[in-house]
Structure 1
Amino acid sequence: MKKFVFSLVSILLLTLTVLPFAFAADAGMETQTAAVKKADDFKDLKDLPQDEKDKFDALIQGGVFNGLTDDTFGLDARMNRAQFAKVAAIIFDLSVDETLTTSSFTDVRSDDPANSYALPYIEALKKAGLTNGYDAEGKTYKPAGDVSRQELAAFLIRGLGMDDQAKSASPVNDNSVDDWAKGYVALALEKNILTNQADGTFGGKVSATRKMLALASYEAKQLFGGSSPDEPATQPGDKPDAPSGEISAQGKKLLLISRQSSQMTQLKDNPDDEKIIKRLKDLGFRVTWINCDKLTAEKMEGYDLIFVSNTLNSKYLRSGIMKDIAIPTVYLKNHGMYYLGLSSQEENTNEYNLKSITITEPKEKAAAGLSGEVDVLITTDPKTAIAYGIPGKEANVIATIPGKPKEATIYYYNKGSHSDSGYEVKARISYFSFAGNYDNATDDTWKLLDALVLWTLQNG
């Protein structure tokens, strides 16, 4: 899985390299949720070479960029540090607290009409160790400031965890690049993240444009979606490989729907989603997460798998938003199954003082090779629960509460099957009981979750 390299370097280097990037140039565009556009909808994109249009399509439809106006992308517009922050946070999967209204930097304000939208993204960069600000004291960020090409190269390389490689790389022989940036530029060129200008020089001090940002961020995101250059994608025994002929999770796009991390104080008995995200990335998925109150059907388009965390607020599923989603989905929340008619009971679906579940179909791939009673919690008490659902007759039940065969802890519906009320399942939908603290989960729990996630991805 990708990792960031947060080595401490001089304040000067941090000042020069840790800059931000984003979609639209103003706050208003950041929050609007219009119909998803394509490159051909923008007059300054439609005549680009097809390979570049494909990249812009991926970024626009993936929610990484909007246009400056309804029909203009703004290819040649300079990007500023505020814009840079938002794109960086997205392509590097940083945790963003969109409820923040105050910043660590004195010049980043929620009442700034041009750059207030970037406040939570700038804070995400700081929290991740990717910026200490603009000035030597770390008091200001300079959100409206331009970003040079060499600064863009340095930030992307650092964000990809290649800082050490850049320091040991043979520096470019290019007078347009400052000495401090020559290793970063050399590596950015080698990895095809950025290219030289038409005159053959890199143009290190030239202000980067939105086109440069978009194409560079696309290439960086492709690298970020794969294995880290200094860390193997897997360790022996860590990740189950897809059997021959089956769909692999490697590189597949997964959307995790959760309750925003800043709200976790409201969920004292529930863990953060970071461990789940790490596990899913270890399986090979390229994970994007979204706060449940921001969820729309359009934002789920283009993903290979949807993963519904047990931390989310169930009311955001009650509207039936998931009813017509034809994407394989894993629910860690029984409410989601209930709202589709795939579980006949909504509330009071917990068993307490219990550590184990019973595998009822050990030959199923989703059973992970386990059988009989399997401990899924390390410890239990009157407040610690194992959750369950009450599935219909067309469900495939893998595990239940011991001695209670109607209380299913792991089950799934195949594509084309029906709930007892007649709802037709559009893609494989699975349920996994995970109501306790993730630190309290046994190794077998994680094995079962891995197996169900990969089985759901097959979409049978």
Structure 2
Amino acid sequence: MKKFVFSLLSILLMSLTVLPFAFAADTDTPAAAVKSVDDFKDLKNLPQADKDKFDSLIQDGVFNGLTEDTFGLDARMNRAQFAKVAAIIFNLEVDDTLTVSSFTDVRSDDPANSYALPYIEALKKAGLTNGYDAEGKTYKPAGDVSRQELAAFLIRGLGLDDEAASATPVDDSTVDDWAKGYVSLALEKNLLANQSAGKFSGKTSATRKMLALASFAAKQILSGSEPEQTEEPEVKPETGKDPAAPAGEISAQGKKLLFITRQSSQMTQLKDNPDDEKIIGRLKDLGFRVTWVNCDKFTADKADGYDLVFVSNTLNSKYLRSGIMKDIAIPTVYLKNHGMYYLGLSSQEENTNEYNIKSTTIAEPKDKAAAGLSGEVDLLLTTDPKTAMAYGLPGKDATVIATVPGKPKEATIFYYNKGTHSDSGYEVQARLSFFSFAGNYDNATEDSWKLLDALVLWTLQNG
């Protein structure tokens, strides 16, 4: 029984290495060459004890890299994707006809995460999840898998649920009450370790490194040996996670957001490039009620009644060329420089990318849109000659938050306040902002998300 449970656990963890939607493989496909820890540049400087663990997991096929030479120690996946992988791997009964969930935030009309509804229900039916909140009313499909959730899943997967129920709960304010028994047992079994100041950091997102070390420890338990004490690096508090507006400012909670996305004929590309889904999920986490519209179906009147407009990088810029946004007096965030260009708020339309860089330089660290960051900040986990970071060339009335390193005129984050003007004279009707589209959002750092959160919330204030 133990061998069977660990086989399922190992396959689950291996599945966490694939990209979203890549959940099935052709059994006739030739197996890839077996790699070792030395094939991944971000594993080479780990302590030797950890390198040995990673090498064992990689050579046993439990983990692959995110790319040919990058393991992706800090990468995460959201709870919707996690649910689908877990349901498939554990061979749970999935009712594909379900359109109503027992969780209030899992809906069949959710453009980002509706696909996961039957899988989330299958996990709940099997007792592998109790939801996100203490009452079990929500699942938070767009959210990351937290460390306390990982602890609970590992303990349940190992068949130790009863032991967790009788364990002495941890006295730790970073862990929710429902998880304290699971965390207590996970610590006792050395599946996971405390972080700084003896705290578990239960609500912090779990990383692939944590998953790998925990899976190795689970293997030791199932073989009848005692796992070694796991040494985990301190995890910085995720101050950019679910931020609230400062006192006296407008909160995103319940505000209506219109998300302008790719044209109708390109919707099938979501499987290959799901960045729109990730951003929509993030916006919902901030509290927004999101409605999306294809750029070829968008007209100015469709923005009426919304508190914020969000223009995706995936749209076809030709649909903005007519200046359709000029008379919309609603705060707007652009992920595409073309939108600012057509309003005269950036002086260059094309060739506004820098390649093979992964950081930005904060120009105004005291501005609220800078999210408390300063100096040079990584927006990407990895980069290569094909990875582009976009920028704009704003006018004199713009507030520039961040720039391409060494190129202060190339702004990666900037905004115009209501009542300011483009250099050509256009008067801004409501705060308009630009955020550099930093490539694949699986490759985005937490600081990148933190800056996007801060800019979105600041734009909402309509100053």
TM-score range, shorter chain: 0.5 to 0.7
Alpha-carbon displacement from aligned partner over 1:46-94 (angstroms, at most 9, x marks no partner) = xxxxxxxxxxxxxxxxxxxxxxxxxxxxxxxxxxxxxxxxxxxx97543
SS at 1:410's partner residue?
strand
Distance (whole Å) between structure 1 residues aligned to residue 346 and residue 411 of structure 2: 9
Distance (whole Å) between structure 2 residues aligned to residue 266 and residue 382 of structure 1: 23
Q: TM-score, normalised by structure 1?
A: 0.52
- Find 2:138's aligned residue among 230, 233, 239: 230
Aligned residue type for 1:229: K
In the alignment, does 2:443 pair up with 1:440? yes
Distance 1:294 1:378, change over 3 A: same
Contact 1:337 1:431 in 2 (8 A): yes
Distance (whole Å) between structure 1 residues aligned to residue 448 and residue 411 of structure 2: 15
In the alignment, does 2:98 pair up with 1:95? no
Contact 2:438 2:444 in 1 (8 A): no
Aligned residue type for 1:365: K
How many residues end up aligned between the 2 structures? Answer: 273
Aligned residue type for 1:389: G
Which position in structure 2 is the counterpart of 1:366? 369
Which position in structure 1 is the counterpart of 2:336? 333
Alpha-carbon displacement from aligned partner over 1:385-434 (angstroms, at most 9, x marks no partner) = 11100000000000011111111000000001100000010000000001
Which position in structure 1 is the counterpart of 2:247? 244
In the alignment, does 2:257 pair up with 1:254? yes
Contact 2:415 2:433 in 1 (8 A): yes
Distance 1:232 1:318, change over 3 A: closer
Distance (whole Å) between structure 2 residues aligned to residue 91 and residue 303 of structure 1: 21
Cα distance, 1:290 vs. partner? 1.0
Which position in structure 1 is the counterpart of 2:455? 452
Distance (whole Å) between structure 1 residues aligned to residue 107 and residue 301 of structure 2: 19
Cα distance, 1:272 vs. partner? 3.1
Cα distance, 1:311 vs. partner? 0.7
- Find 1:321's aligned residue among 302, 324, 337: 324
Distance 1:405 1:429, change over 3 A: same
Which position in structure 1 is the counterpart of 2:408? 405
Aligned residue type for 1:422: G
Cα distance, 1:353 vs. partner? 1.5
Cα distance, 1:130 vs. partner? 6.0
Contact 1:398 1:410 in 2 (8 A): yes
Identity level (%): 72
Aligned residue type for 1:442: T
Contact 1:334 1:346 in 2 (8 A): yes
SS at 1:386's partner residue?
strand
Contact 1:267 1:311 in 2 (8 A): no
Distance 1:264 1:352, change over 3 A: farther
In the alignment, does 2:382 pair up with 1:382? no
Which position in structure 2 is the counterpart of 1:139? none
Contact 1:350 1:388 in 2 (8 A): yes
Which position in structure 2 is the counterpart of 1:288? 291
- Find 2:360's aligned residue among 357, 362, 385: 357
Q: Could you list the runs of 5+ residues in structure 1 that have no partner in the other structure?
A: 20-89, 97-123, 132-157, 169-226
Which position in structure 1 is the counterpart of 2:151? none
In the alignment, does 2:329 pair up with 1:421? no
Cα distance, 1:95 vs. partner? 2.8
Distance (whole Å) between structure 1 residues aligned to residue 344 and residue 304 of structure 2: 23
Q: Could you list the runs of 5+ residues in structure 2 that have no partner in the other structure?
A: 1-77, 101-105, 144-202, 205-237
Contact 1:303 1:327 in 2 (8 A): yes
- Find 1:343's aligned residue among 339, 343, 346: 346
Distance 1:264 1:231, change over 3 A: closer
Q: TM-score, normalised by structure 2?
A: 0.52
**Superposition RMSD on alpha carbons, in Å?**
3.8
Aligned pairs for 1:162-241 (under 5 A) are 229-231=137-139, 237=238, 238-241=241-244
SS at 1:273's partner residue?
helix
Cα distance, 1:230 vs. partner? 3.4
SS at 2:110's partner residue?
coil
Aligned residue type for 1:355: K
Aligned residue type for 2:450: K
SS at 2:275's partner residue?
coil
Aligned residue type for 1:318: R
Cα distance, 1:231 vs. partner? 4.1
Contact 2:306 2:330 in 1 (8 A): yes
Aligned residue type for 1:258: T
Aligned residue type for 1:285: F
Aligned pairs for 1:103-142 (under 5 A) are 127=115
